[in-house]
Amino acid sequence: MRLSAEPAFVLHTRPWRETSLLVEVLSAAHGRLGLVARGVHGPKRQLLRAALQPLQYIRFDAVQRGELATLSAAEALDAAPRLAGDALLAGFYLNELTLRMAPRGDPSDEVFGAYAQARDRLGQGESLAWTLRRFERDLLEGLGLGFEWTVDGEGADIDPAARYRLEPEHGPRRLLLDRGEADRRAAATGRALLALGSDERPPDDDLASLRRPLREVIAHHLGPRGLASWTMLGELARVVTPPRQE
């Protein structure tokens, strides 16, 4: 199959053999794809190598035979976000999560759009915590794994004053009042769930309460092997907990 002028985002690149690269991209029309870029070293291939950096938005041509496609051309369609510090680590998490969750060859307009929005928000310096929570929400939804954020798994309205665990196969489950403090720390506030559902940023404490419940849902779908990002970022604490604002 020949792929021509396909828009895509570069998720990951690694060396392969002496002069080639293995590149994972999220494409609009074909979902996640693996590409082989041959002979990318040398001064005449600088533009190609630059186009194949993670977070870059590209247009590419390739021929697919089997699981991997052989890249014949690629060009950058914009300037990738210039990230540093926590934003750079958040970008690494964005790419790794997409790489692990999005299945090969299964396109989703929702997943592609969610990635594009999150990438733009990182580049614009928006809140890292809120950017990542929205992306996690949209990624799960685009993969058919999302929740209804206004009612719990039993169909009862979310109570803003209560706390809820997120169960992958059930949805939000309200904590009982006699549960211990450990359970409360692993639960989101009802206010946070309602805010996430309406796409309105909640107050900082409520926003921070979303991190662990969403991570548990993602870990369930990933299986026994977690994300390198979680180790690198110290369980994402520095990135996803926003500074207090007056």
Please provide the DSSP assignment of 170-230 as one string.
TEEEEPPTT--HHHHHTSEEHHHHHHHHHT-PPPHHHHHTTHHHHHHHHHHHH-SS--HHH
Same domain for 112 and 20, yes or no, is no
Determine whether 166 is exposed, middle or buried from the number of CB atoms within 10 Å of its CB (0-12, 13-18, 19+).
buried
> pTM of the entire structure?
0.90
Q: Residue 133 sits in which domain range?
A: 86-240
Q: What is the pLDDT of residues 125-164, one digit of tens each?
A: 999 999 999 999 999 999 999 999 999 999 999 999 999 9
pLDDT, tens digit, for every residue of 201-226?
Answer: 999 999 999 999 999 999 999 998 88
- The number of angstroms, rounded, from the C-alpha of 177 to the middle of its chain's C-alpha atoms is 33
Asked if residue 245 belongs to a domain, the reply is no
* Whether residue 93 sits in one domain with residue 68: no
For residue 172, being part of any structural domain is answered with: yes
**Do 8 and 112 belong to one domain?**
no
Best CA proximity match to 192, nearest among 114, 119, 137, 144: 137
Task: Please name the residue that has the structure tokens 């665990």.
Answer: 165
